[in-house]
Structure 1
Amino acid sequence: MSTLVALARAEAFAAGRAQRIATVRHLHIHDRPLVLIPLAMAGEANAPLAVLLGTDAAAPRLLVVSQPRNRDERFTFTAELAAAVVPYLASFGAGGTEAVPVDRGRDVRYRYVDAPQVWVPNPGGADFLRLLGRSTRFRRTDGDHPVPPAVPLLGQWLTFLAASAEVPGSALLPNAVQALGLHWATGQSAAEDAHLGSLFAWITSGAEAARAAEQGPVAGPATDPEFDNKVLAPLIAESSPALVDALRDLLMPTWNRMWESIALLRTLPEGARVQSRWDSDRDVYSAFVTHLEEDGTPQPRRDGAVAAAARLQRLENAAARYAVQRAFDDPLVMAEHRLSGAAFGGVVTLAKADRIDDSGKRPVLRPRIMVATTEPVRVEAGAALTSPARPSQKAKVISVTPTAGGSDVLLELSGGMGRKLVAEPGSVPAVGEHLLLTTLSEAYRPGAAFPDPADTPWTHGGPPTAPASLSD
């Protein structure tokens, strides 16, 4: 927990109301999301009990497994779920494509103009979909115990969505608890924030309402033990038709709260870099649809050593990029970096926009500016800084001179000023301009060179080594 979030939690506790920890929304919200609330059978390994889903708040659809331990009923339920979910997911592949320039405009690629967005209540809901995808994507549609063709296809889609949920900043499979917690801090613990009803009440009504909400129905996928013993178990044992109404009554409060949470998040202005992350989601969606159309093989049970290392690097790069983008979009997030010394603000007091560096083989434009700041400066000469206002421009620290009220930082600028020896208007900060500088950077991080799987040691999937002979 960061310092400012801890302070916001203390203020929320004192005020009895959740506090904003973001000035903008850091998540894309689709115009037509699919809300899906899964419920699992207690004591059974990911045995589906019910799902409430739909794209219209006024028209939820409830799917129920009357006997969760019955294998045939479970796959019938999964086929019904596929019939409801897969058409929504695949429909965006029929919405047309757009050209995206690549290789500095020398070539183009194509991606779909839109992508789906599936909302679940909490991380447990996303994990339920991941496990359901793993248990269905390899099912055979022929031979012994065949399943409908839609079942393994649903498994592939759910695996794809669950994998995207692991990528920081992705909006293909968001969950309401994390989305709300990204923008508000409550006066309760992180464990208590996992209860969607309590978290939502802290934000909209306050602490007293949150205490009452804690006694309400859970948002799945686990059920309340008291409900299991007193209501659910007798209805399943008797195969009672009242099971459907009981589950509907259990899930409807969460259904309403999910749509209210989405509406609440819509009231926040969208961050400037949210759309670029959604573009990345559309790229991933387009690639997966192409895979289904051209190949269609299910995702492997587990990654090989090289694939796992490459995936880990992608996730690490995505996490670093997401952290920088949130800070650049949101002054409240950037304030945390200013506290840690990774950023500081100041006023430009000197600026030489036409400075030319002719010490190399050819002259280059290298303007210098002086920034006066009253904030602690924890960077040394030679450090590279970036301003969120000009993310493509680098500022090299030439010197840091202590003053009576703070520091004077001399910077040399490069990039983002055009290709001539005269800077484009507005590309060099002018005297009197307030400037925020940080060590954070959105610069592209090239991926590492991983070996071919056949070139790895046998311990990592490569060929076994020949045993040494006795003569050796």
Structure 2
Amino acid sequence: MSLLTTLARLEAVRSGRAEPLATVRHRHLSDRPMVLVPLTAAGESGAPLAVMLGTDRDAPRLHLVPQPLNRTLRFDFLAELAADLLPYLESFAEDVERIEGSEKDPETGEKTQVFRELCADAPQLIVPNSAGVHHLALIGRSTRFRRTAEDEDPGPYPAPARVPLLGRWLTHLTDRAQVPGSSLLLPMTGLLARHWATGQSHLEDQHLAARLAWHHPPDGLSGAEAAELAESERDDRGRLRHPPAGPATDPRFDEVVLAPAITRYDSAVGALRHSTEQRDEAAAEHARAAVRAAVEGLEQALTTALLPTWRDVWRGLDLLRALPPAAHLEERWTGDRWSYTGHRDRLAAGEPPQPRQDDAVTAARKLAQREREQARLGVQEALDDPLAMAEHRLAGEAFSGVVTEVVPDWDTTGRSPKPRPLVTLRTADRPHADLGREAFRVWGSPRPVGAPPGRQAGGAGGGPSAQKAEVVAVDTAEGTLTLRVLSGMGRRKEPEPGSLPEPGDTVTFTLFELTVRQSAPLPEPDDTPWTHGGPPGAASAPAAAVSEEWE
């Protein structure tokens, strides 16, 4: 936890309300997200009990398992979920745009022009908290290898045809959720925690209703009191008014409502089986009506348990949509679109499901990608958000100040003199700026001459216009720093107009690079030694390639 986040939490305790940690929204929000609220059976995290989902806040759809211990009913539930969720996931696959790029011929080494498809948009799933993401990962892991009735050897308990496909999609989405900055699958509590701080612990923040209570506490109550009320308030039957439902259940609800309802269902099914064996048509018809009534009772009970969390997720979306989107948001969403497109293409090509365990090279590539995306996300958020940059300034990794003097200077050691002006600024920050250390200017608005259109000079992703300088003098007593500008001034003998700050301008420099370096290339799995999963004894199921932005 950073110093600024700690201060924001302390301020939330003092004020009794959630305090902002960002001035812009750092995660993409779809115009048509799929909100999904899962529920599991108590004592068995991998056993689904129900799920409420939909893209319309006023028309949620409920799927349930009347008896979670019944394997057949469980697969029927997954089949219904697949029939409801897969059309949404696949609806973004047809609308594409053609992206021009180049590929190197492995034999001649020459680059050739190629075109690839990129889906114009991608799906987005929103769950209440991180436990919901974990639950979807469990469903994906348990279903993507299931045999179906269409297989040559279906085995016992064959799954419906679309269930393994649902498992592959859920595995991809939950795997992509581990990439920093990704927005294909998001927990609402994590979204809120990135943009606001509360006066409670991170564990307490996982209760969505308690988290939201800090944003708009009722009159006369502080955020802490409202959160406690949201966690513990019960109705006249002893049931929580805001059950967690993400995906845990309330033990009191299990005891008073759920267990009796499942018992009634089991009794009705037993009576139906007995009357069918006895060939008593009148008793069988009465038992079928009892089964329908038991299922309707379960639907009503589970709807009552899930609706508060369903409404809370949409309330969270309303709060986030009120924030303006960050400048680099579209760039990260493009990476998610490439990821979605890549998985669509792998399914169309008939590739096998994702392996249970990645080989050494694939695992290293995933780790390198996540480290690279974490660094890129930190840089982009700092460039987009003054509060994020303030964290770096408090940590001594950046500084901001007013320019007091700009002195022209040149480097005459080469064939022709190169401009190397000296910029002095006064700052109240205390950066770790040793002599000779590189610093990188964060451009403001308007766009300076020479900066590429559509992207800030010095922004994440780099470019030749990123302006680099080095610290040549530090006067802590006067609070001044002098930097020698080394690049970002054009290619002429004189700096381009607008490429240097003027006295009186406020400028910001970072002591970390504004470009993310690529990791070293890794060998192909077939070229790795047997100690790292290569031949002999290579894995039978090849790992899926890591989706990266294609340029």
TM-score normalised over the length of structure 1: 0.93
Shift of 1:425: 2.9
Tell me, yes or no, if structure 1 residue 386 matches structure 2 residue 440.
yes
Aligned equivalent of 1:230: 256
Residue 124 of structure 1, aligned match among 106, 124, 131: 131
Aligned equivalent of 2:509: 437
Aligned equivalent of 1:447: 519
Aligned equivalent of 1:196: 208
Tell me, yes or no, if structure 1 residue 112 matches structure 2 residue 119.
yes
Deviations 1:379-416 (A, max 9, x none): 1233222222141423221412316431232222313x
For residues 116-265 of structure 1, what are the structure 2 equivalents within 5 Å?
Answer: 116-141=123-148, 142=151, 143-144=154-155, 145-205=157-217, 206-215=223-232, 216-239=242-265, 240-241=294-295, 242-265=297-320
| Cα distance between partner residues in 1 of 2:83 and 2:419 | 61
Change in CA separation of 1:250 and 1:304 when aligned onto 2, cut-off 3 Å: same
Higher mean displacement: 417-426 or 5-14: 417-426
Change in CA separation of 1:14 and 1:25 when aligned onto 2, cut-off 3 Å: same
Shift of 1:323: 1.3
Aligned equivalent of 1:304: 359
Shift of 1:433: 1.4
Does the 8 Å CA contact 1:356/1:421 hold for their aligned counterparts? Answer: no
Percent identity between the aligned chains? 49
Higher mean displacement: 396-405 or 13-22: 396-405
Letter of the 2:381 counterpart? R
Does the 8 Å CA contact 2:102/2:114 hold for their aligned counterparts? Answer: yes
Residue 292 of structure 1, aligned match among 347, 357, 370: 347
Q: Tell me the number of residue pairs that the alignment of Structure 1 and Structure 2 aligns.
A: 463
Higher mean displacement: 149-158 or 225-234: 225-234
Does the 8 Å CA contact 1:21/1:332 hold for their aligned counterparts? Answer: yes
Change in CA separation of 1:401 and 1:220 when aligned onto 2, cut-off 3 Å: closer
Letter of the 1:408 counterpart? L
Deviations 1:277-313 (A, max 9, x none): 1111111111111111123421111100111111111
Say which SS state the counterpart of residue 117 (structure 2) adopts. strand
Deviations 1:5-31 (A, max 9, x none): 111111111211111111111111110
| Cα distance between partner residues in 1 of 2:493 and 2:89 | 51
Aligned equivalent of 2:107: none
Spell out structure 1 runs of 4+ moving beyond 6 A: 102-106
Change in CA separation of 1:418 and 1:293 when aligned onto 2, cut-off 3 Å: farther
Does the 8 Å CA contact 1:382/1:396 hold for their aligned counterparts? Answer: no
Aligned equivalent of 1:469: none
Higher mean displacement: 378-387 or 159-168: 378-387
Change in CA separation of 1:414 and 1:300 when aligned onto 2, cut-off 3 Å: same
Say which SS state the counterpart of residue 23 (structure 1) adopts. coil
Aligned equivalent of 1:405: 478
| Cα distance between partner residues in 1 of 2:254 and 2:476 | 68
Say which SS state the counterpart of residue 414 (structure 1) adopts. coil
Tell me, yes or no, if structure 1 residue 270 matches structure 2 residue 282.
no
Shift of 1:268: 0.7
| Cα distance between partner residues in 2 of 1:396 and 1:102 | 33
| Cα distance between partner residues in 2 of 1:219 and 1:364 | 64
Shift of 1:328: 1.4
Higher mean displacement: 105-114 or 342-351: 105-114
Does the 8 Å CA contact 2:424/2:480 hold for their aligned counterparts? Answer: no
Say which SS state the counterpart of residue 169 (structure 2) adopts. helix
Does the 8 Å CA contact 2:375/2:516 hold for their aligned counterparts? Answer: no
Higher mean displacement: 323-332 or 423-432: 423-432
Say which SS state the counterpart of residue 215 (structure 2) adopts. helix
Aligned equivalent of 2:31: 31
| Cα distance between partner residues in 1 of 2:91 and 2:359 | 32
Aligned equivalent of 2:468: 395
Higher mean displacement: 113-122 or 98-107: 98-107
| Cα distance between partner residues in 2 of 1:78 and 1:268 | 36
| Cα distance between partner residues in 1 of 2:299 and 2:167 | 25
Letter of the 1:131 counterpart? L
Shift of 1:47: 0.6
Does the 8 Å CA contact 1:380/1:397 hold for their aligned counterparts? Answer: no
Deviations 1:306-338 (A, max 9, x none): 111111111111111111111111111111111
Does the 8 Å CA contact 1:384/1:394 hold for their aligned counterparts? Answer: no
Letter of the 1:269 counterpart? P
For residues 19-98 of structure 1, what are the structure 2 equivalents within 5 Å?
Answer: 19-98=19-98
| Cα distance between partner residues in 2 of 1:358 and 1:237 | 89
Aligned equivalent of 2:282: none
| Cα distance between partner residues in 1 of 2:485 and 2:388 | 26
Say which SS state the counterpart of residue 94 (structure 1) adopts. coil
Change in CA separation of 1:302 and 1:421 when aligned onto 2, cut-off 3 Å: farther
Does the 8 Å CA contact 2:382/2:388 hold for their aligned counterparts? Answer: yes
Query: What is the root-mean-square deviation of aligned Cα atoms in Å?
Result: 2.2
| Cα distance between partner residues in 2 of 1:385 and 1:56 | 48
Letter of the 1:194 counterpart? Q
TM-score normalised over the length of structure 2: 0.80
Aligned equivalent of 1:360: 414
Change in CA separation of 1:105 and 1:369 when aligned onto 2, cut-off 3 Å: farther
Does the 8 Å CA contact 1:115/1:281 hold for their aligned counterparts? Answer: yes
Change in CA separation of 1:102 and 1:3 when aligned onto 2, cut-off 3 Å: farther
Letter of the 2:439 counterpart? L
Higher mean displacement: 196-205 or 286-295: 286-295
Unpaired runs of 5+ in structure 1? 466-472
